[in-house]
Amino acid sequence: MTPPSIGAPLDRVDGRLKVTGAAKYAAEFPVANAAHAVIVASTIAKGRVTSMDTSTAMRAPGVIAILTPFNAEKVNVPPPLTQSGGQSGGAAPSGAPSAPSSGAQGPAARGRAMRVPTVLQSTEVHYNGQPIGLVVADTFEHALEASHLVKASYASEKAVLDIANAPKNPPETVHPLSGERVIARGDVDRGWSEAAVRVDHLYTTPLENHNPMEVHNTVAVWEGSNLTVYDSTQGIFSVRNTLVRAFGLQPTNVRVVSYFTGGGFGSKGGPWSHQILAAMGARAARRPVKLSLTRRQMFGPVGGRAHTSQRVALAAARDGTLTAIRHESTSNTSTIEDWVEPATVMTHMLYACPNVRTQYDLVRVNIGSPTFMRAPGESTGTFALESAMDELAYALSMDPIELRLKNYADRDPANNKPFSSKSLRECYTLGAEKFGWKARKAAPRSMREGNWLIGYGLGTATYPARRAPASTTARMSEDGRVTIRAGTQEIGCGTYTVMSQIAAEALGIPVDRVTVELGATDMPETPASTGSVTASSTGSAVHDAALALRQKLERMMQSGETFSDAIRRAGGQPVEVTVHSQAGPEAQQYSMHSFGAVFTEVHVDESLGIVRIPRIVTAHGVGKVLNEKTARSQIIGGVVFGIGMALVEETLIDPNTGRYVNADLAEYHLPVNADVGMIDVNFVEENDPYINPVGAKGIGEIGITGVAASIANAVYHATGKRIRDLPIRVDRVMAG
């Protein structure tokens, strides 16, 4: 009897490759005769490049080619948004970066119109740090040196940099949410006026930037009209489609390879300019080109989290029953794309309130385009909504858990569909018990240890469970070994490992007999590793392929035979199946979401305003946990991300020049080990028969949601000071 593979805390099957350095990341592929490219970035935020003097740079050691808007080859990029009404978000042509298809909650997945890549096709400058040139040289150092010798002249225009005061929804806005900019149910005004208790406040979250350990890297190799690209990406197929369109190729001409990606968190979710620039550079230099962004170039050219300003108004009856929710969010986009951070996305679904109105507004500023960043929408949105729920709990003198249970939604109130499964009640109960919530004294400033004020806080976590179509090939050879092939990506989550477990379980064989091959566009197509879809989508395809292979083998087997016996008797050729797997009608019949509860203890130094987080306890219901160890790691990573969001992360833009002021890991603060206390991760057992064949809801995004609110609520409980603007810096804790 083979022990079950699914759920076991299996070590990563690629762990040894990673710790020994044998795992190859994009820039590490030993491509013969490769040259190195470095991007030249604009130093103004808006205007035009009038000329570029490359003469000194061309004479610098090792320089092979320099591309500028004045000499670069023409490639196909989408038209600017302002032309002929632009593009609508829902109908982006193939190759445009697109978000995963959504579940019932709609707007999150359509939060963008098409981005125009900045690949030297025009002299226009949209933000400070935009690529305006590319230097190709024999070594990285030579390219970097020469990049500093390129002199650009500009016709500068006044940039829009003040997010707080920029005009809302400027006339040319191509609203990606069109009909869904305002969503309402019931009568919010009436619910508001009938209420006994009301809270109405503004919450803000800052610009943030992703900082995966691996910067964005691309190696482009042309052989005739065939292009091979080694890329650090969360989505090999969308990179391929973009290159196909840019260079007028066929999909079979382009092979994108990504066996390992060193983190992305959304910044590698779709293609950016550098993949096209690398291929242009390789054409100009007539040799392979490696292009690595510098850490500074990670701020601007590859997205970041939008700034949000969110007004949340909650009204309730004396017993805590919500009578109205109003949630309005304004976020920034760029001048090359209309991207919406869908911060109100969960507001219609999370609580059973009859009267709800949400609204999005956009401002357009001259900074790099925002994009997906871990739980786009839910991370920023739950900060505001779950802070407001805490404020309401105090206004009602109710326990924060009681208030949430009072308004518990047993069906999805947005569409009245049943949830495929929901264990949020159990999450509150389990989390509270593990945390010791009972010891909380209700009044703010009522718990302390010496100079440390102690606070307990709660935040609710939520993220949709989505599934996208995916294909997979499963093959067994005569020795009984199975190879799974699916063109997904390993971005650090454990994809090689859980796919091995899923296949082994479906075949009923030990997991060490399964080899998973992924990460190339000549493999069966699967979705990008975004939006927590990989386990549910590619995992389901792997499950279905392994099961189909097993059934095929079982049909070949005579009594008493093993799989290997049957293959041998049939001539010894490997047996292979390819399946295409996608959601059925259940996706329309049920509302599918993960939920969780995040409990935080903070200690705040009363004299200095320093916030410490000794412990966070989480409880999540995420469907089936496929690997206890990697699942726990996912939640820990998400919680640490949430600690960063709550306390330290903040991208600063110079208000005069639009320059990213803190564009490095010394000045852009992230939590380090000393900032992270105990994180106790718990899962509520959840058997969801509807969600997908593997029963997993996806776990990459939910870990960050609810965390910032949980911390802010704990800071209020400790200090009596409500901080509605992230991050919770010392100056904000100490401010009068």
Residues found near ligand MOS in the complex (CB under 6 A): 234, 264-266, 269, 372-374, 376, 530-531, 701
Complex with ligand MOS: residue 145 or 341, whichever CB lies closer: 341
- Closest distance between ligand MOS and the C-beta of residue 532, in Å? 7
Strand extents, DSSP E, 438-542 = 448-449, 452-464, 470-476, 482-486, 514-518
- Closest distance between ligand MOS and the C-beta of residue 267, in Å? 8
- Closest distance between ligand MOS and the C-beta of residue 304, in Å? 11
- Relative to beta strand 575-581, strand 470-476 is antiparallel
What are the beta bridge partners of residue 457?
600
Question: What distance in Å separates the CA atoms of residue 76 and residue 243, rounded to the nearest whole number?
Answer: 9
Helix (H) / strand (E) containing 112: none
378-396 and 628-647 are packed helices; what angle lies between their axes, rounded to 10 degrees? 70
Complex with ligand MOS: residue 130 or 380, whichever CB lies closer: 380
- Closest distance between ligand MOS and the C-beta of residue 491, in Å? 8
- Closest distance between ligand MOS and the C-beta of residue 420, in Å? 21
Q: Residue 447 in contact with residue 454, Cβ under 8 Å?
A: yes
Question: What distance in Å separates the CA atoms of residue 259 and residue 517, rounded to the nearest whole number?
Answer: 8
Q: Rounded to the nearest 10 degrees, how much is the dihedral formed by the CA atoms of 89, 91, 95, 98? A: 40
Q: Rounded to the nearest 10 degrees, how much is the dihedral formed by the CA atoms of 684, 424, 586, 185? A: -170
CB neighbour burial string for 507-541, b if at least 16 within 10 angstroms, e if fewer: bebebebbebbbbbbebbbbbbbbbbbbbbbbbbb
- Closest distance between ligand MOS and the C-beta of residue 6, in Å? 24
Q: Which of 25, 374, 438, 426 is closest to 205 using CA atoms?
A: 374
Complex with ligand MOS: residue 323 or 489, whichever CB lies closer: 489
Question: What distance in Å separates the CA atoms of residue 120 and residue 131, rounded to the nearest whole number?
Answer: 7
Identify whether 80 is preceded by a cis peptide bond (ω within 30 of 0).
Answer: no
Question: What distance in Å separates the CA atoms of residue 637 and residue 666, rounded to the nearest whole number?
Answer: 20
Complex with ligand MOS: residue 34 or 493, whichever CB lies closer: 493
Q: Which of 437, 115, 481 is closest to 276 using CA atoms?
A: 115
Out of 145, 386, 601, 701, pick the active-site residue: 701
- Closest distance between ligand MOS and the C-beta of residue 264, in Å? 6
Q: Which of 464, 377, 378 is closest to 417 using CA atoms?
A: 464
What are the beta bridge partners of residue 154?
49
Question: What distance in Å separates the CA atoms of residue 732 and residue 722, rounded to the nearest whole number?
Answer: 10
Q: Which residue is nearest to ligand MOS (CB)?
A: 266
Question: What distance in Å separates the CA atoms of residue 359 and residue 345, rounded to the nearest whole number?
Answer: 10
Lookup result for tokens 């991370």: 379
- Closest distance between ligand MOS and the C-beta of residue 189, in Å? 35
Question: What distance in Å separates the CA atoms of residue 717 and residue 456, rounded to the nearest whole number?
Answer: 6
Complex with ligand MOS: residue 105 or 713, whichever CB lies closer: 105
- Closest distance between ligand MOS and the C-beta of residue 488, in Å? 13
Complex with ligand MOS: residue 230 or 265, whichever CB lies closer: 265
Query: What is the token pair recorded at 374?
Result: 């871990």
Query: What is the token pair recorded at 243?
Result: 């290159």
> What are the distances in angstroms from CA 112 to CA 102, 118, 270, 442?
13, 17, 12, 42
- Asked about 601 being catalytic, the answer comes back as no
Complex with ligand MOS: residue 281 or 703, whichever CB lies closer: 703
CA angle 459-465-468, nearest 5°? Answer: 150
- Closest distance between ligand MOS and the C-beta of residue 529, in Å? 7
Complex with ligand MOS: residue 265 or 563, whichever CB lies closer: 265
Question: What distance in Å separates the CA atoms of residue 541 and residue 624, rounded to the nearest whole number?
Answer: 16
Complex with ligand MOS: residue 453 or 493, whichever CB lies closer: 493
Q: Residue 631 in contact with residue 622, Cβ under 8 Å?
A: yes
Query: What is the token pair recorded at 188?
Result: 């919010």
Quickly count helices (H) and strands (E) in the chain: 16, 24
Q: Residue 706 in contact with residue 639, Cβ under 8 Å?
A: no
Strand extents, DSSP E, 246-287 = 254-257
- Closest distance between ligand MOS and the C-beta of residue 537, in Å? 13
Complex with ligand MOS: residue 368 or 531, whichever CB lies closer: 531
Complex with ligand MOS: residue 123 or 234, whichever CB lies closer: 234
CA atoms within 13 A on the CB side of 663: 22
- Closest distance between ligand MOS and the C-beta of residue 498, in Å? 17
Complex with ligand MOS: residue 337 or 601, whichever CB lies closer: 337
Q: Which of 268, 271, 219 is closest to 241 using CA atoms?
A: 271
Cβ contacts of residue 376 below 8 Å, gap of 6+?
A: 108, 111, 266, 305, 341, 342
Query: What is the token pair recorded at 352?
Result: 């059973």
Active site residues: 701
